[in-house]
Amino acid sequence: MRRSPQYNSAVKFYTLHAGFRDQVHCSTLIGFSSCDSGALFNNRSNVPAQLNVGAGSIASTIDLDFDDFSPLNLLGGDADGVGHFGTKINTGAILYKMLSSNCSGTACANQYSGPAQ
């Protein structure tokens, strides 16, 4: 999937992800150190933007707060910010801009009120 842009040069590819705050993509400690880049395409001229909109708690970190009956922060950013599902639900303005313009980089998020990098 990462290499798709090189095989489809006439298509623009964009990514929205929550980085280390994605509780689905970063749900295990195996490979955690690189899970923030798991949703990214290889950089090419037809990949104008790959934005990390994650905010809040980092997924799968030890929190030792047993109120949720777990030593891990199971919800990642969605517990107190933007994680996997928040990225899907909250980024309509970015998606619209990506599909309706020639935006690139963080300019694709200029109508979005949350963090985007």
CA dihedral over 14, 18, 20, 22, signed as positive or negative? negative
Q: How far apart are CA 17 and CA 53, in angstroms?
A: 6
How many Cα neighbours within 13 Å face the side chain of 13? 19
Q: Where are the domains of the chain?
A: 4-109
pTM of the model: 0.83
Write down the pLDDT at residue 70.
62
Q: Which pair of tokens denotes residue 77?
A: 């950013």
Write the pLDDT tens digit of every residue in 35-90: 888 889 999 999 999 999 999 988 876 556 666 666 555 667 888 889 989 999 99
Write down the pLDDT at residue 11.
95
Q: How far apart are CA 63 and CA 96, in angstroms?
A: 36
Please give the mean pLDDT across all residues of the chain: 86
Of 52, 47, 48, nearest to 17 by C-alpha is 52
Q: How far apart are CA 58 and CA 77, in angstroms?
A: 6
Q: How far apart are CA 49 and CA 31, in angstroms?
A: 24
Q: Is the separation of the CB atoms in 78 and 23 below 8 Å? A: yes
Write down the pLDDT at residue 110.
92
Q: Is the separation of the CB atoms in 53 and 91 below 8 Å? A: yes
